[in-house]
Chain A
Amino acid sequence: MKQKIYTHRVLILLSVISLSICSCKKALETTPYSFFGSENFYSSTAEAEMATLGVYSSASTWAAYGWYIPQVLDNDSDISQISGNSADSWRVIPHYTGIPETDIYSSTWNVLYQGIDRANVVIERIPKMPLYTSGNDQEKAKLNQYLGEAKFLRGFYYSELVRMWGDVPFKTKSSAVGDDIKNPLVDRYKIYEQITKDMLEAAEALPPTSPTSERATKWAAKALLARISLFAGGYSLRADGQMKRPDNYKEYYAVARQQINDIMVSNPYKLNPSYPQVFINQCKHLLEPTESIFEIAFFSLTGGGGETPNSSRVGFWNAPTTAAGVYASTNLRQATIRPFYELFQDGDYRKDFAVARYSINATGNRQYLLTGNGDQNWAPGKWSREYQTNSPTENVNTNINYVVMRYSDLLLIRAEVENELNEGPNSIALDAINQVRRRAYGLNMTGSSIALTVTNGGAGYTANPTIEITGGGGNYASAAVATRTSNRVATLTLNNGGYGYTSAPTVTVTGGNGTGAVITASLVAKPSTTAVDIPTGLNKQQFFDILVDERAKELCFEGLRRADLIRWNLLGTKIAETLVKVRAIRATYPYLAGTNFVVGKHELFPFPQNEMDVNTAITRQNPGWR
């Protein structure tokens, strides 16, 4: 009896235990609640679209276009430099004192490859989706577009890697389990072949519309291919330390010409008649559908100190110094270089718009920095706080898109390509550059800038009175008294002629303890087309030299200058020339690039040490870096 009870107890116990265990396999299944499983992702067009946007989002980071690529890695040049001399990575690299360990190199490198891998996944997975072959027309069209976008972005990201690092690891297959994760360097021209192929295939798949959003279009693919072709056909630093361009470089120019011609047939683009408005619109997050060719989207719901997703530093890191007050503060991080300002001619509205010779005080007023070494603090003016929406989320990070390519860039490329292939400027080249120049001089823009004359010097001015300019429909005209004779206002300094004045504004003179000074404003007549246009009859080199300057004036601070100078093999020359120019201004004018730049080294970035340490398939560092 006792034995029986005992057996019963054991049986009950064992059955409880075994029930509680159930099936082992099921007992160990877990759910990734917060993620999508990779096995069944890409089951709908919506998921394919999310994955495609994931390819874009790599670009929407500080390491890519929010900050580093255009603002850190494209400095210092002959038009701008990073201020200060302390050991921050974002200062060290522009001042040509970075080393392979400097972290920004690996951040940017990694984020571009991250985008490429995401693109590779999309390019592999979409064609395997049942909907890709058996979906309805709408579904097929969508998937085809996503495929095109992925190819476009893969081509774009690779073009950036090749531009900055030369020969790089190259893969068009997504990283997967069991792969050899060490990829050797591949010749940059091999990679350009794939980029060209990707861009052409993208152009076929993408919608032939002008942009309605930050997503790629057919024309963006073609325009970017045109630009990339110029880089492929331009100079680059080879492994032997020499700057060379390919022997067949004109073939690349021909590809560019073909793309531009394709675009021009159904030209969807047009310049905004007002150069300043292009950037004011950027600051206000307005899409410029006819001038903007491709933009990287930035917009973050949250403010805060560090990097929040999709936050931009355009208009924060490259804006005039602003004291906290009416606007949120910015420091001088990117400074312009005075000789660049002096390159502009009078009447060119880009001059005083693009270069801010002022800082902004707490009351929101411009303080012109024209005396002493104030010129060392001139900054890019295109994305000044004054034009921004100044929402509380944009105090440190902004929501300003990075514009990868504008139509004026394409026009100047057209001029360059025609000049090169034609061995001199033809009418297409002249027309292209002149469209840009006419816009710059405001020929189609409403209003003008103003000039001032002292009509009456007044009397009793023991100090300089303040000059205030109001009305007239325009903006930003500013002047100060330059000299007084016998306590009378004698001469003036026009800080800024302003723009957009349709009638002469009112000028009031206050302070200075005197009375009676009268200053009259008048509209400055617009120059004639012929005065603005590039004259005919220039030879190839003359036209090219003009183009070199014109690209600087038109596209300054947009992340292209250093890159352009490298492809023309002019970076060393320009830096040396700039050093001479700034030293002539002042012996202490800081220009670290002038002493630190090394020809045959700094035209390429070093392979990041993080990569070199683990990717043993890379057997050499870029020339000069060790």
Chain B
Amino acid sequence: MLKAQNPSLIKGTVVDDTSLPMVGVTITIKGTNKTTISDSNGSFSINADRNSVLVFQFMGFRKLELALDGKTEIKATMQTDDKILNEIVVVGYGTQKRKDLTGAIASVSGAEIAKVPVQNVAQALQGRLAGVQVTMSDGSPGSSPSIKIRGGTSITQSNEPLYVVDGVPQTDGLAFLDPMDIESIDVLKDASSTAIYGARGANGVVLVTTKQIKSGKVAINYEGYVGAKKITNEIPVMNAYQYLLLDYERSLGNATLETSFANRYGAFDQLQANYGNRSGKNWQKEVFGSTVYNQYHKVSLNGGGADTKFNLFFANNSDEGIMINSASKKNIGKLTLNQKVGQNLTVNTIVNVSNQKITGLPPTEGGNARLTVLQTLLQYRPVNSLNEDDDQLLDLQTDPFEGASTAAFQSPIVSAQTRLRNRIINTLNANTSVQYKLSKKLTYRGLINYTLRDNKYKEFNEARSIVAIRSGGPFGSISNAKDIRFNYNNTLTYSQTFAKEHKLDVTAGQEYIYNYSENFRASASNFPAVNNGWDNLSLGTVVGVPSSYAEDDKLLSFFGRLNYSYGDKYLLTATLRADGSSKFGVNNQWGYFPSVALAWRVINEDFMKKAPVFSDLKLRVSYGQSGNNRIPNYTALGTYTTGLYPINNTNVLSAFQNNLPNPFLQWEANESVNVGLDMGFLKQRITLTTEWYDNRSKNLLFDVRIPGSTGFSSQFQNIGKTASKGLEFSLNTVNITGNGFNWSTNFNIAFNKTKVLELSEGENFKIVSSYTDINDFILQVGKPVGTMYGYLTDGLYQVSDFDYNSTTNTYTLKNGVVKDNRTVQPGYQKFKDISGPNGVPDGVISDADRTIIGNANPKYTGGIGNSFSYKGIDLSVFLNFSVGGDIYNANVLNNSALSNQYKNSLQRFANRWTTINAAGARVTDPTELAALNQGKTVPSYVGIVSDRPYNTLIEDGSFLRINNVSLGYTFPKELIQKIKLSNARIYFTAYNLHVFTKYSGYDPEVSTVNNAITPGVDFSAYPRAKSFVFGLNLSL
């Protein structure tokens, strides 16, 4: 029987905990959808039953429920929800409340990460956190992003931070995780936070916590999305007619080529008529042009009681690449089990199994040659002979123009179809952690982890592939790498509060890590006509020498931490860690990493009561040291490796020193000072965190190039010092709340500057190479790491720079004109003569004329996100940006040389200095040549080669990316309960919608050379796609 309705006019006011009236509070009668809003005086009125319950809601405040109990007038006092302040932050070997933090730690919630439809968790961090720079090397499926925290000060191969997942350090990134399985990610940025990770903390630490399990009734959940992807832009190349003009120009003077050109394409004067309107093949469209699909499905089961809780899920993520025949498929299964044993003991076990299969030819495979996929796309001729269909080019195994024995080009489609690559990565992560309350004050925690990672790489080049054609038959290989990691740690934590005001928390711990890895490779070639080398290598009639390798390293550590706070106002954290690593020389194995941090919660001082606008104010100062041991094993030891010397056609073992050992090798040490200020205003509706830091790294570990005359080309050394200084701001605001409509904004921006302070032995600079043997980066004192190095262009050599000899038809450079140590002619690229062997300009272009031409480091990076919600509808828009970093467009450099027959190149070389006139004749007459090329800025087809990096290759990589736009709708509970669902949400997300940039390549966020000192190189990068997904989450 229904209770009789007895509506009365209920009046009331809402105030906050300082008795100030609150505007815009949503008041709902519980169990109904009747709603009202408080006015500017905090007053409201609503018709309700006198026995009903009113629900008060306002963002930033705790939800309040008040029973009327027959009253018609009511006063509600809402309490600030200091959820943010009381939010639990994961720190090394423990957790802390955010308000108690003394170091610089930035966090992002799993909900934010789940909005981005990507395969790799780290990719979803892009732009989210101040000072955390996430760069994808390119857009290839399955590629792992690289994370740089605060610019990175290290110059070893990697500036990657240490990843710790559920307390377990990882060596291979986060690819094994399900992006939807993240509870939170906390990034430790300053050394006072990272020092507890000692030797591995110098580049920052990323702590990932996977979803925690909740007790409750058993629930089945489904999450999933389907989407489509498309290439965003193309690199312009010369069209059919422009290409033919180039090929004609190249053929002139070689009778054979001239004849074959005319036979193929017709007479020169008909070229425009025949080909001017012929579109030819757009290879980028052919290979990258189609729409591809991605999808994600996850089914999970969770539940449990007070003693046993569990969560089990299976997720499948299939991501097709926009390049033909490329994809990444990932399956993850995970079981989490939490068991309480008695009052004091809790055991938590996680088993995560992942399987990833990445298919497709890596776009950089093949180096700077035509055999590299992207290079073929740019260079393969767009057009066929006069009477032949351009479509024939699609299936060409070799270019008939080149002659059977000189094959270098192949249709990029055939290449993608016949050069088969599979990478299969299986990982098993099993950890068990134990928490045992020895007493009220003393807790023991222990964790044991075993990780097995099996990485198989299969490669097969079918008979039709260009590489097989060039090497006389199909060949294939299978290599298998296995990494085993065993890790355990033990900590004891003692917590005590003395005299109410003094809180003490002491942790002591010990950790041991053992890494073992081994690999094996088998290969075979000269397969019979069948193309199944992967699955039966024994079909290959020539068997390669199998190879195997094994190595291990160990890390033994002891650490301690002291947290002390007085009156919730003054906080102190001090840590010390001792790490011993097997990678270093016997006398340098141990490193000690201290840190100390102080914080003052000014907000809790009495005088702050006079400034009620503040809801939080905290000042933090920290200092700490951490280290870097990321170098290959055994570099401190001299080892002998073996090779072969084939005496009388029999392989005999030979042996030689593998490396020039350096037993003095020691830790790279990072010292950092951090000053942070946390401010909250208007009941935390506005929060602002400001961080200033100064990081200094010394004893930098670097594989230094040493003179070849030593018999070695490089050696690991501790070579110098770098500094990285910066400023970071994170601002969160609640712009509108109440009325059912909420709008909040988060914004972060980070300014960073790195600088080399010192290099070993007083050396001024060390030059390094990136994608080929060309030296194109420099480490120089006073300049940032990532400085690009090369020549400055100075226009072209003009006809007037030469004396012309009409009898021999030769041009000789006039005296006084800058010479080049390579012979030059009119129309050749001219460089600026800025120096010489004695440090002054010498009139000759040589290596002494190289200078700084670019800096890969952005001036600032950041992101801005806006979230809107109204009733069940939510909308979020997230943009990230980077300003000031340079990109070294190596695609342009590699395609600068135009002299090779049958090779197309970039559009920018179409309007080049020409050596032929309108009639198609080679021009030698100075007057005609000069007239023909007035105002030309692009060198002639022989006027530049690709072994000298120059300044105009360097482009501004600034960008603003519409990273993702997501629109969702959560169905009302009343509606879905009818179909037995507890939760249902649908959403639509556009990812990588648009990039605003001046960069001429595919995407300004690129770094294809995986090396800390050569960032920002764009060479054969796999283009990025934009994607649109539609998703659904359901809970039973």
Q: Which residues of A contact B (CB under 8 A)?
A: 6, 9-10, 13, 16-17, 20-21, 24, 27-39, 41, 47, 50-57, 60, 85-87, 92, 97, 99-103, 106, 109-110, 113-118, 120-121, 168-169, 171, 174-179, 181-183, 212-215, 285, 287, 297-305, 309-310, 321-324, 328-331, 362, 372-373, 392-393, 395-396, 399, 588, 590, 595-596, 608-616, 620-621, 625-626
Contact = CB atoms under 8 A, between A and B. Distances in A.
A328 B472 contact: yes
Contacts of B325: none
B interface secondary structure, majority: mixed
B866 interface: no
A10 B434 CA distance: 15
B170 interface: no
Residue among A57, A176, A393, A590 with the most chain B CB within 10 A? A57
Nearest to B402: A331
Given A57-B645, A310-B645, A614-B706, A116 B711 contact: yes
Contacts of A285: 649
B709 interface: yes
B254 A588 contact: yes
B647 A297 contact: yes
15 contacts: A10-B442, A27-B512, A29-B554, A30-B582, A36-B655, A52-B654, A53-B647, A57-B645, A100-B846, A113-B708, A118-B657, A177-B661, A396-B471, A588-B253, A612-B847
Contacts of B946: 87
B556 A611 contact: no
Contacts of B715: 181
B277 interface: no
Given A54-B655, A57-B656, A626-B836, A101 B709 contact: no
A329 B472 CA distance: 8
Nearest to A393: B542
A303 B710 contact: no
Contacts of A9: 438
Contact of B709 (A183, A329, A362): A183
Contact of A626 (B549, B662, B821): B821
Interface stretch (B48-56, B216-224, B633-641): B633-641
Given A35-B639, A86-B899, A302-B545, 18 more contacts: A6-B438, A27-B580, A28-B556, A32-B633, A35-B641, A35-B658, A41-B640, A54-B643, A86-B900, A87-B946, A113-B710, A298-B646, A305-B475, A310-B644, A329-B405, A392-B473, A614-B706, A626-B837
Contact of B256 (A109, A117, A373): A373
Contacts of A102: 947
B917 interface: no
Given A28-B554, A37-B640, A626-B846, A169 B709 contact: yes
Contact of A395 (B473, B553, B646, B822): B473
A27 B406 contact: no
Nearest to B767: A613
B400 to A, nearest CB: 13
B120 interface: no
A321 B405 contact: yes
Contacts of A32: 551, 633-634, 637, 639
Interface string B526-552: 100000000000000111110011111
B897 interface: yes
Nearest to B897: A87
A54 B646 CA distance: 11
Nearest to B526: A392
Contacts of A27: 512, 554, 556, 580
Contacts of B336: none
B655 A41 contact: yes
A86 to B, nearest CB: 4
Question: Closest 6 CB pairs between A and B?
Answer: A117-B711, A395-B472, A299-B646, A38-B638, A53-B654, A54-B656
Contacts of A103: 773
Contact of B645 (A35, A56, A179, A620): A56
B449 to A, nearest CB: 14
Contacts of A178: 664
Contacts of A31: 552
B510 A17 contact: yes
B405 A38 contact: no
B215 interface: no
A611 B648 contact: no
A101 B470 contact: no
Contacts of B869: none
A51 B647 contact: no
Contacts of B526: 303, 392-393
B658 A57 contact: no
B774 A620 contact: no
B705 A34 contact: no
Contacts of A51: 640, 654-656
B253 to A, nearest CB: 6
A301 B651 contact: yes
B909 to A, nearest CB: 14
Given A35-B658, A87-B945, A626-B842, A297 B707 contact: no
Contacts of B492: 13
A590 B256 CA distance: 13
